[in-house]
Amino acid sequence: MQFWLCPDCGRHWPHDPPIAVTPGQGVGELRKDLKLRRQELEAAPRLPGERGPESPIEMRLLEALCGIPDLPPPVPQHEIRDRDRIVTIPDFAYPDARIAIFCDGFAFHGNPDTLELDARKRNWLQSKDGGEWTVLTYWGRTIVRNAEACAREIAEIYRQKRRRGEAARSGGPADRESNPVAGARGAARE
């Protein structure tokens, strides 16, 4: 083992013996290493620092959601805050419709302490203080068995909330087709 003197800090650092390199070879090696790293990054589901699915069940549900043509892609790992404090980070969210989607695997979420903490956070989300989010929770085995059914359910809830939001903004009646009780009450008034 040899040591070299760092010109910045003056400390001696161990290093491996020098490798014989012909002029220009170092640049070629660096290019080869960078090419390999680029290939690794391109093969990854997302680039470092990007938010995205963090588990196979999240990836499966995202694929199913993206398979629904008129549904926008959800926001992955959306931080929901109470002032400056992060309360929870749903796996996916539709912030415009206030829908939070959690993909829970039994290995991580199946113990009493985690279940209790999850319930407390999700109850807060649904409260007035939390912004009255719609909270959807899917267990991993449900997603694995039929991710498309989960995605269809999410899409329908998204559409209903968007219709209600548009009706409220325009001052018009809620969509009677999606809410037969409101439709019957509306018909009785007309």
Higher pLDDT, 116 or 1: 116
Summarised one tens digit per residue, pLDDT across range 93-102 is 999 999 999 9
Which tens digits make up the pLDDT trace of 28-73? 777 777 777 676 666 655 555 556 666 789 999 999 999 999 999 9
| pTM for the predicted model, two decimal places | 0.63
**183 pLDDT tier (thresholds 50, 70, 90):** very low
Query: What is the model's pLDDT at position 22?
Result: 64
% the chain with pLDDT above 70: 66
Give SS3 for 92.
strand
- Res 130: pLDDT: 80
| DSSP sequence for 98-140 | TEEEEEE-HHHH-SHHHHHHHHHHHHHHHSTTTT--EEEEEEH
CA 63 to chain centre: 12
